[in-house]
Structure 1
Amino acid sequence: MLMPLLFLGLIVAGVIFLVRKLWPDEPRHFGGSRALDLLDERYAKGEIDREEYQRRRQDILGR
């Protein structure tokens, strides 16, 4: 009785892990994560203004 419950628990934990890994809280598209991080850094440093930031972010996200 205990072994099937442990097995089921492992399956549920595995599914939860995969879902969190494949679909993070903040949606970032394939390969876009690094580009968005760099864009965020440039905006935070004041290298680009808000309009430029938003335009480039939309380009990266493909919207």
Structure 2
Amino acid sequence: MAEATFSTIKVEYVHRRQFRTRAEARIKIATWITDFYNRRRRHSVCDGRSPIDYERSTARALEAQAA
């Protein structure tokens, strides 16, 4: 699982950019993971939706069941 995640990060972000220093790379990669990969990128485990969309639809479904 971790290998696939790191491969995706390298293919989708790291290999498409140039960084001046390792520190810059570390900061920008961490920001990309936090802002995009973990929140907006579509994930197969979320039925092809972003985690935010998946959480919203799950919350709506739970609210509908409770009503």
Q: Give yes or no for TM over 0.5.
A: no
Give the TM-score of the pair, scaled to structure 2.
Answer: 0.30
Give the TM-score of the pair, scaled to structure 1.
Answer: 0.32
